[in-house]
Amino acid sequence: MDSTTIQTIVMVLYVIFLISFGIYQGRKVKSSEDFAIAGRDLPGWVAALSERATGESSWCLLGLPGFAYAAGISSIWTAVGCVAGITTAWAVLAWRLREEAEKYDAISFMDYLAKRHGSHGRAIRSVGSLTIVFFFFFYVGAQFLGGGKTFATMYNISPVVGIFVTAAIVIPYTVYGGFQSVVYTDSVQAIIMIAALVLAPLFGMFYIAKAPGMFARSIGEALRAAGPEYTSITGGAKGFAAGLAIMGGFSWFFGYQGGTPQLSMRFMSIKDAEEGKIARNIGILWTFLGYMGALAIGWVGIAIFGPETLADPETVMPAVMMRLFHPALAALFITGAIAAMISTADSILILSATELSESIIKPFFYKDADSKTSLTLSRVITALLAVIALAITFIVPSDLIYTLVGYVWAGIGCPFSVIIILTLFWDRFSAKAVVPTIIAGLVFTIFWIATGFDETILTSRAMTFFVSLIVAVIATLATPADTSQDVKA
């Protein structure tokens, strides 16, 4: 059989397994709490692997290796920012968010903030949830688009067909099993991802040392041969520009500090403190190994192909896999990249549906719904959101979708990171400051990116965090101390 046939067989078998496993896990869902947060009963290893699969998307398997292939050693700052951010989140925030979710009986991200800041809970719930749902509509649409393009490239089919294939994989088990199905399927995908990220560099270093016709015999030799900018820690930039280059890469740190709801939900769903320690250890270990492997794959790609051979740097991971491994194993690892995209799509979909149902529709319109009705409502809302997100991929121009997705990390991640940090660590933080912080962060991000300052001065991932922090502190100090924040909304 040729490699394309083998790749297709592996992909089909994997997809069948993924959907079947997701539906199997969904059988455990008996209530809307199970659907939204897996009954807050997740084993630590499941929560950690799901968080890592969701957090990385195809970034760690395609984007970062591609960046390392194109930029050389300077790509390390992006990895440093991400690793520092993820490690801090697991070591400092995860167990606190788990305890807070249990204390306030919260079953969604905004449900926690609304209950924690109960004196202004309704406004917080409404503004925060609608902001998340609106932008994450486009986030899900972007994942469908990305999946469509990937399938089109791999199998020479229409991107439209690829979009429907991606949706057909994600929607059934997400609608049926909710968070319960999503986290367990994510765990499988995280295992495939880390296997690819660890094994490829190890095999790659042996391969380039012995195989004929290589551009270089080691990673160090490859970087030196590629040119001085590849061995520069700042990509050749000097002075103030070098500082901005380093800060631009490190700025990924800020969005990981509790402000990405899809990741914080994994922290909140862990069963107990002991499982939380297991989750922390697995999450941090996965992160170190994964990011080291992602960088190394890009650099091994330089040694194999040379620095300018690949027209699209983000194809370096599939190209390396096909060169190093048997077609069946290579196909499995390449499927891991698609799996990463799927893990983000299902996680964002269930997050959006949960926020809409648990923070808007049920509290305001279905307060007295029984358990069965509440679960049915959750599934119906998830299905409707999936259909809307699918429609968005055909109705809204793709460049607008990606533009709006580009606002998410800074415009949502940074303000919510500020809110989570101050909520957990500053007793004086006012409930009245939450909504202004959300709005200020989002508006500033749109302004900063639209004016081009994001590229010419400093990335919005850093600027929005500090602007949101200033607004939150000023708004808090400008209002009297609120002694009624711990009232359920």
| CATH classification at residue 156 | 1.20.1730.10
Token code pair at residue 302: 């330089």
Tell me: do 387 and 452 sit in the same domain. no
Spatial neighbors of 22 by CB under 8 A, at least 6 apart, are 172, 173, 174, 176, 177, 181, 182, 184, 185
Q: What angle do CA 81, 342, 264 make, to 5 degrees?
A: 50
What is the C-alpha to C-alpha distance for residues 182 and 170, in angstroms, rounded to an integer?
9
What is the C-alpha to C-alpha distance for residues 321 and 10, in angstroms, rounded to an integer?
14
Residue 261 lies in a domain: yes
Per the structure, the complete domain to which residue 412 belongs is given by 398-480
> How many domains does the chain contain in total?
2
What is the C-alpha to C-alpha distance for residues 231 and 97, in angstroms, rounded to an integer?
40
Tell me: do 219 and 266 sit in the same domain. yes
SS3 127: helix
- Highest mean pLDDT among 3-12, 410-419, 477-486 belongs to 410-419
Helix-helix angle 3-26:327-354, to 10 degrees: 30
SS3 204: helix
Tell me: do 387 and 403 sit in the same domain. no
**Torsion, CA 409, CA 289, CA 140, CA 435, rounded to 10:** -30
Tell me: do 330 and 366 sit in the same domain. yes
| pLDDT score for 488 | 47
Residue 87 lies in a domain: yes
The answer, yes or no, to whether residue 484 has pLDDT greater than 70, is no
User: What is the residue-wise DSSP string for 133-190?
Assistant: HHHHHHHHHHHHHHHHHHHHHHH---HHHHHHHHHHHHHHHHHHHHHHHHHHHHHHHH
Instruction: Report how far apart, in Å, the C-alpha atoms of 237 and of each of 94, 175, 234 are.
Output: 36, 49, 5
The model's confidence at residue 402, banded by pLDDT at 50, 70 and 90, is low
Tell me: do 459 and 391 sit in the same domain. no
Tell me: do 311 and 440 sit in the same domain. no
Residue at which a domain ends, from 363, 396, 429: 396
- Count other C-beta atoms under 10 Å from residue 254's C-beta: 26
Tell me: do 199 and 98 sit in the same domain. yes
The amino acid at residue 264 is: S
Residue 93 lies in a domain: yes
- Mean per-residue pLDDT for 380-403? 83
The amino acid at residue 181 is: S
Tell me: do 94 and 236 sit in the same domain. yes
Tell me: do 386 and 416 sit in the same domain. no
Residue at which a domain ends, from 377, 396, 415: 396
Tell me: do 173 and 308 sit in the same domain. yes
The amino acid at residue 284 is: I
- Highest mean pLDDT among 123-137, 172-186, 289-303 belongs to 289-303
The lowest-confidence range among 107-111, 363-367, 371-375 is: 363-367
**Torsion, CA 106, CA 109, CA 112, CA 113, rounded to 10:** -170
SS3 447: helix
| pLDDT score for 92 | 95
The model's confidence at residue 233, banded by pLDDT at 50, 70 and 90, is confident
| pLDDT score for 163 | 85
Residue 487 lies in a domain: no
| pLDDT score for 420 | 96
Residue 388 lies in a domain: yes
What is the C-alpha to C-alpha distance for residues 185 and 97, in angstroms, rounded to an integer?
23
The amino acid at residue 167 is: A
Reported pTM: 0.89
Residue 384 lies in a domain: yes
- Highest mean pLDDT among 1-15, 92-106, 159-173 belongs to 92-106
- Mean per-residue pLDDT for 10-18? 86
Residue at which a domain ends, from 373, 396, 419: 396
Exposure of 414 in the CB half-sphere (CA atoms within 13 A): 31
The model's confidence at residue 278, banded by pLDDT at 50, 70 and 90, is very high
User: What is the residue-wise DSSP string for 292-355?
Assistant: HHHHHHHHHHHHHH-TTS-SSGGGHHHHHHHHHS-HHHHHHHHHHHHHHHHHHHHHHHHHHHHI
DSSP state of 43: -
Higher-scoring residue by pLDDT: 115, 405 = 115
- Mean per-residue pLDDT for 208-236? 90
Tell me: do 466 and 361 sit in the same domain. no
Tell me: do 387 and 402 sit in the same domain. no
Contact 472, 422 (CB under 8 A): yes
The mean pLDDT value of the chain amounts to 87
Residue 135 lies in a domain: yes
Residue 80 lies in a domain: yes
Is residue 23 left, alpha or beta, with left meaning phi > 0 and alpha meaning psi from -120 to 50? alpha
